[in-house]
C-alpha cells in the first residue's frame, strides 16, 4: 500500500472535473494545478460510457464545451480539438451545433491527455471518503482509500461523479441479471440478450419516458435481433424537451446567481416549471426517428414494437417455466382504466434516472463528519463546520440551490471558474492551512 498526498483531489474524470482541471491550469497559479489529481475508476475517459450509441447526439451545443464560455481563446476548446484531429471542415459542413456523443467523449479524453499539470490516475476507484480532523475537531482534509489498496490524502476534495442510479423499489426484488439500468446498458445488454428462451428472440421491456429509456428502446432492435421491445411510459405519451430560446435563457450561467438568491419556495416552483427542459422528455429529432421506425414496422408488416402510455409497473417477480427456465412477470396498471394485467418478459431495462439525494459517498462523508445535512455556498463549497481548513466541493448535485442546469454541461465552464477561484482565494488568504500529512 502506498500513501499519496495531493492538494486538490477530484473524484471522477467526467466533464465537470475535467473542466475544473482546465480552469486550474489556466488560473495563472500553476502550483495549484501541479498539486491536483483526478481519480478515474476506469482505464480511460468516456462520456455516458454505457449509452455510447453510434447515432446518439449531445443535446447541448458544442459551444458549451469545457472552456469556451469562460475563455473563448482556450486551447482546450471543442473546435480546437476538431482542428487538431483534422476533422473541422467535415464537422462544420454538417451544419449542426450538436455533435455525436462519441465525438464529445473523444474530446474529453483529448482534454485529459492534454493537461500539463493536473494528473489523471486511471483504474483508481475511491472506495469511500473519510475526514481528517484536528485535535479540536476541525476538518483539515480527507483520506480516500482506493480499491487497489493505495490511499490518497488531500486538503480539498471535489466530487464530480454525478448521482447514483435510481432503481425503483418495485424492481429491487428481481434477479440482478434481469434488470439493467441505463447506466449499465452497453456493458450488460449482451448478457441480457442471452436470457432469451431457446429458439425465441428476447422479450425486453423498457421502463421510462425520457431520453435514456428511448435510446435503449431504439438500440435493442439492433442488440437483440428479432425482438419487439415494449416501452412503458407513465405519461400519456412521449414528449419533447421544452427548448424555446426564452426558456433556454434560464440556462445562462448568469441565471445561477438569480436562482441562488431566490426564496426556497420560489426556487421549488421554478424547478417544477423547468422540469420538461431536461427531464421526462426527448430531443425532437429523436422523437421523429422513433415514430418513423414504428410507422415503418407497421407498413412493412414487421413485428411492431410498442410504446404504452399512461402505464405503470406495480409489481415484479420471476416465475419458473416448465422447461426449467424462468421469466419476469410484471404487474402493469393501465392508468386510463385502472385495471392491472400481467406482462411477461425476459429482461427489464430501466431508464428511471437518478436518486435525487446526494450521492451515497457524500452522505457517508457527512455522517463521518457529523453533519446533519449538506449545504453548499454559491461557490459550490459545502459547509463543513466552523474552522474547517479542508474543503469539499460538489459538482452536478446542487439543483435545489443552483438551478436545473447544475447537472448539465451548460454551466461547466463558468462553474469551474468559480470553484477554481474559490480554491485560489482560500490559498491567498491562508485559509487552506498547511500540509495534510503534517496536520494529520
Angle formed at CA 418 by CA 365 and CA 76, multiple of 5 degrees: 105
Q: What is the pLDDT of residue 430?
A: 72
Q: What is the pLDDT of residue 432?
A: 59
Question: Could you tell me the three cell numbers for 1?
Answer: 500500500
**What CATH number does the domain located at 3-164+355-439 have?**
3.50.50.60
Helix (H) or strand (E) holding 114: helix 101-114
DSSP 194-249: TTSPTTS---EEEE-SSHHHHHHHHHHHHHSTT---EEE-SSSS--B----HHHHG
Helix, strand or coil, per DSSP, at residue 418: helix
Q: Is the pTM of this model over 0.85?
A: yes
**What CATH number does the domain located at 169-240+279-350 have?**
3.50.50.60
- Encode 233-264: b = buried (16+ Cβ within 10 Å), e = exposed: bbeeebbebeeeeeeeebbbbebbeebeeeee
* Closest residue by Cα to residue 393 from 3, 11, 106, 137: 11
Residues 150 and 123: their CA atoms lie apart, in Å, by: 12
Contact 40, 120 (CB under 8 A): yes
Question: Could you tell me the three cell numbers for 403?
Answer: 438551478
Q: What is the pLDDT of residue 267?
A: 95
- Give mean pLDDT in consecutive 10-residue pieces for the chain, a chain of 440 residues: 95 97 92 96 96 93 96 97 97 96 97 97 96 95 96 97 94 97 97 92 96 96 94 94 87 93 95 83 92 96 93 97 92 94 97 94 95 95 94 96 91 96 90 44
Residue extent(s) of CATH 3.50.50.60 domains in the chain: 3-164+355-439, 169-240+279-350
Amino acid at each position: 500500500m502506498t500513501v499519496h498526498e495531493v492538494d486538490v483531489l477530484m473524484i471522477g474524470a467526467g466533464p465537470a472535473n475535467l473542466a475544473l482541471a482546465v480552469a486550474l491550469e489556466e488560473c495563472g497559479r500553476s502550483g495549484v494545478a501541479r498539486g491536483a489529481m483526478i481519480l478515474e475508476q476506469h482505464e480511460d475517459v468516456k462520456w455516458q460510457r454505457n449509452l455510447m450509441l453510434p447515432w446518439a447526439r449531445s443535446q447541448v451545443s458544442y459551444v458549451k464545451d469545457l472552456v469556451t464560455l469562460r475563455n473563448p481563446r482556450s486551447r482546450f476548446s471543442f473546435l480546437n480539438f476538431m482542428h487538431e484531429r483534422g476533422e473541422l471542415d467535415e464537422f462544420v459542413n454538417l451544419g449542426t451545433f450538436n455533435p455525436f456523443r462519441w465525438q464529445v467523449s473523444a474530446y474529453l479524453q483529448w482534454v485529459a491527455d492534454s493537461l500539463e499539470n493536473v494528473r489523471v490516475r486511471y483504474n483508481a476507484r475511491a472506495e469511500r471518503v473519510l475526514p481528517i480532523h484536528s485535535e479540536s475537531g476541525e476538518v483539515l482534509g480527507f483520506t480516500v482509500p482506493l480499491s487497489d489498496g493505495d490511499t490518497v490524502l488531500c486538503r480539498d476534495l471535489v466530487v464530480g461523479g454525478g448521482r447514483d442510479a435510481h432503481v425503483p423499489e418495485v424492481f429491487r426484488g428481481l434477479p440482478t441479471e434481469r434488470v439493467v439500468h441505463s447506466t449499465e446498458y452497453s456493458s450488460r445488454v449482451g448478457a441480457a440478450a442471452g436470457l432469451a428462451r431457446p429458439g425465441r428472440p428476447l422479450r425486453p421491456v423498457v421502463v421510462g419516458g425520457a431520453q435514456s429509456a428511448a435510446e435503449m428502446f431504439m438500440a435493442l432492435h439492433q442488440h437483440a435481433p428479432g425482438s419487439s421491445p415494449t416501452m412503458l411510459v407513465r405519461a400519456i405519451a412521449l414528449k419533447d424537451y421544452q427548448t424555446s430560446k426564452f426558456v433556454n435563457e434560464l440556462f445562462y450561467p448568469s441565471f445561477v446567481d438569480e436562482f441562488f438568491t431566490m426564496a426556497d419556495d420560489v426556487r421549488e416552483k421554478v424547478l417544477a416549471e423547468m422540469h420538461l427542459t431536461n427531464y421526462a422528455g426527448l430531443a425532437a429529432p429523436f422523437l421523429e426517428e422513433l415514430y418513423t421506425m414504428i410507422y415503418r414496422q407497421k407498413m412493412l408488416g414487421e413485428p411492431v414494437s410498442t410504446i404504452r402510455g399512461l402505464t405503470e409497473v406495480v409489481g415484479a417477480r420471476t416465475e419458473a417455466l416448465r422447461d426449467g427456465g424462468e421469466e419476469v412477470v410484471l404487474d402493469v396498471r393501465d392508468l386510463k382504466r385502472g385495471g392491472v394485467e400481467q406482462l411477461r418478459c425476459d429482461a427489464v431495462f430501466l431508464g428511471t434516472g437518478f436518486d435525487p439525494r446526494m450521492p451515497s459517498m457524500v452522505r457517508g462523508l457527512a455522517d463521518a463528519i457529523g453533519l446533519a445535512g449538506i449545504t453548499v455556498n454559491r461557490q459550490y463549497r459545502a459547509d463543513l463546520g466552523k474552522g474547517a481548513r479542508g474543503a469539499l466541493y460538489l459538482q452536478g448535485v446542487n439543483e435545489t440551490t443552483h438551478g436545473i442546469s447544475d447537472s448539465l454541461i451548460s454551466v461547466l465552464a463558468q462553474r469551474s471558474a468559480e470553484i477554481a477561484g474559490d480554491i485560489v482565494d482560500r490559498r491567498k488568504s491562508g485559509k487552506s492551512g498547511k500540509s495534510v500529512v503534517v496536520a494529520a
